[in-house]
Amino acid sequence: MKTKVLLMNSPHTNFEKFDRAFNKKKGNVLFPPLSLTTLSGSLLKNVNDVSIEILDNEFEVMKYFSENMNSPLKELDYLKQNIINKIKSFKPKVVGLSLLFSQAHPMSLIIADLIKKHSPETIVVCGGNHATFAYKRMLEMCKSIDFIFLHEADYSFSKFIRYVQGKLEFDKLRGIAFRDKETNEIKLSPPAERINDLDSLPIPKTSLINIKDYHKYGRMGSLNQRSADVQPTYTIQTCRGCTAECTFCSVRQFNGKGVRGFSAKRVLEEIDYVYNDLGIKQIEVIDDDFSHNRQRTLDICNGLIKRNYDLEWSIQHGIRLTTLTDEVMHAMVLAKCRMIAIGVESGNDESLKIIKKPMSVKLLYSKSELFKRHPELYVRGNWIVGFPFEDDSQTMNTFKVANEIGFDWNQFNVFRPIVGTPEFDKLSQTRKNSIIDNQKDLQSYNTSKKFRDKLASEMKKNLLNDAEADKYSKEIDKQMMASMMIEGSQNEEKRVLSEYEEETAELAYLKNLEMNFLNNKNLNGMSINKSIETHKGTFHVNLKKSANYQRAINDFKQILDIHDPNHAIAHFCLYKAYKFKGDLLNSKIHSEKFNTIISNPLNTKWTYYSNKLIDKTELDMVKKDYQNTLEPKYSSAAILNAKA
């Protein structure tokens, strides 16, 4: 008899805030569960007499409520019932629950308890990034979880299934955490072996999911979002790990030091399978360091160039700036790479040094000239604001640098330490030092500006009494729990922002409207010719970028289609983009939309942002054009009829 294994993921979705209308227009991010298809491939290769099924809970919920918007069922109730039905019909011996990010922590505990309630004999195991670093807390909080797999489990999970089958002794298992049945103590087995030869791993078992249906119910990546012709998208991982040691990131802690890459030959074999057997024409590369090896990168690109597939690909998770050259970028463009994301994080050399980011502001300006020479590539910049060691002037300098670099789009994230990172460990250590025992740790890391300033003041006076120390200890506990997305009850999911974080988030949003919309480089073009001062000296910058109205239009329309059809600033920018392009009909449509929105007394938010960010001369101009739409020949109905 075959051993039945059910693999599923723990949803990151907050079902209390699930927006069915937003879900219907495919606003939610929905990627195929690569971790589960990868594990399935390894299990089928290494273990005999095993039957595997995959239940993608995120996909199932989004699919059901996209097709049944008016269902009386609550989202969480549907999820639970769907899992129960699967457990009853498949009757798995083992359920493996993938837990990649901290947002999924509360739901994983709910699912584990649900499985044990309806099938007490089923073995419940967890794995993934968050589970690796939060294993102790998870096992302490949830008695329904039997084992947690640490780090990569391609080999260790296969050995575990052989143990379940009675073919391997328990003391031979590696890379697991478990609760001792006699002492109730949390224990660890010896570490699992590191997989250095990634080519030994089979191609992920994509046949276990409906990969061609994912794009119907959610957004699957940059190409999927920006393309008018939305198609099935495949996610591929061509390497594990990252050369960098960034302190806010857990990639190195999870994967180990350095980068292990699949060979170019193996990568191309997987792409051949995806294109020829699955009929996929869009691929998202989810590597953290795709171009770590120059020759491997060129070999992959040259292989794709020779094949000349009708296939586009992107690297939206990030690519290290130091690895990019004209030769590499030219090869990527010819190989039909259409989008990359650059993790910059800060516009300050001091901060880059603290977070161990292997780059400098000078290098950033220098390398940005590459992007202007390869306009076929859409380039997004990823930034972090609100680092506890940065002051206001440094935060504003990050925005200034982001504006001058001229990426196609900038993504500003408010800093919050993630479980498994050195930054989170600093926070944890600070708490253990009971606030007043280790002044050095406190000065190097605190959770908010007001908290930091208050604490520094009190420490100088040396007036912290037990009550005050307890107060600050609780504040750090609160920050840590918020970082793990487990504030309060295990059945709740709350993300608590400090007052400082809220202020930073509002500033980031304002800068998003300013830079990505009103000062969008594809809308306005860019020309910078100036000297830049850094701690490494003065250097000259001469950057130019031509406007690309259609690219700007695509981005602004995506905002309206997915996020907010009444986004006044997006309508204003579309008004300008179409006007610059010479499409006066569409320009007038969006001038009317913009003026209608900001003149509505219920839209105080957009009135405020418009008056704050848009120059009065431009506001007068769009209002004047709006007045013209009141003429019969320019009315929306007339314009739409003319276009039809």
Domain ranges of the chain: 3-188, 220-415, 422-483, 564-643
Burial of 276 (0-12, 13-18, 19+ CB in 10 A): exposed
Burial of 303 (0-12, 13-18, 19+ CB in 10 A): middle
Q: What is the pLDDT of residue 492?
A: 31
CATH label, 3-188, candidates 3.40.190.10, 3.30.465.10, 2.40.50.140, 3.40.50.280:
3.40.50.280
Q: Compute, in degrees rounded to 10, the torsion defined by CA atoms 478, 480, 481, 482.
A: 80
Report how far residue 617's alpha carbon sits from residue 614's, in angstroms, rounded to the nearest whole number: 8
Is the sign of the CA dihedral 149, 150, 154, 158 positive or negative? negative
Report how far residue 572's alpha carbon sits from residue 269's, in angstroms, rounded to the nearest whole number: 46
For residue 29, the 8-state DSSP code is: B
Helices and strands in the chain, H and E counts: 28, 17
Q: What is the pLDDT of residue 530?
A: 86
The mean pLDDT of the chain is 86
456 vs 529: which has the higher pLDDT? 529
Q: What is the pLDDT of residue 504?
A: 87
Q: Assess whether pLDDT exceeds 70 at residue 518.
A: yes
The residue written with tokens 């912290």 in the block is 464
Question: For residue 471, what are its two tokens?
Answer: 């107060």
Q: What is the CA radius of gyration of the chain?
A: 26
State pLDDT tens for residues 122-158. 999 999 999 999 999 999 999 999 999 999 999 999 9
* Residues ≥6 apart with Cβ < 8 Å to 565: none
Q: Assess whether pLDDT exceeds 90 at residue 469.
A: no
For residue 32, the 8-state DSSP code is: -
Least confident of 45-54, 209-218, 623-632: 623-632
Report how far residue 365's alpha carbon sits from residue 376's, in angstroms, rounded to the nearest whole number: 19
Give the DSSP H or E segment for 359: none
Q: Average pLDDT of 57-66? A: 97
Q: Assess whether pLDDT exceeds 90 at residue 420.
A: no
* Residues ≥6 apart with Cβ < 8 Å to 520: 552, 555, 573
Q: What is the pLDDT of residue 499?
A: 62
Query: How many other C-beta atoms lie within 10 A of the C-beta of residue 458?
Result: 17
Q: Average pLDDT of 199-228? A: 85
Q: Average pLDDT of 338-366? A: 93
Q: What is the pLDDT of residue 438?
A: 39
Q: Assess whether pLDDT exceeds 60 at residue 485.
A: no
Query: How many other C-beta atoms lie within 10 A of the C-beta of residue 71?
Result: 13
Query: What's domain 220-415's architecture?
Result: Alpha-Beta Horseshoe (3.80)
> Residue 580 corresponds to which amino acid?
F
Q: What is the pLDDT of residue 435?
A: 41
Least confident of 249-263, 295-309, 414-428, 429-443: 429-443
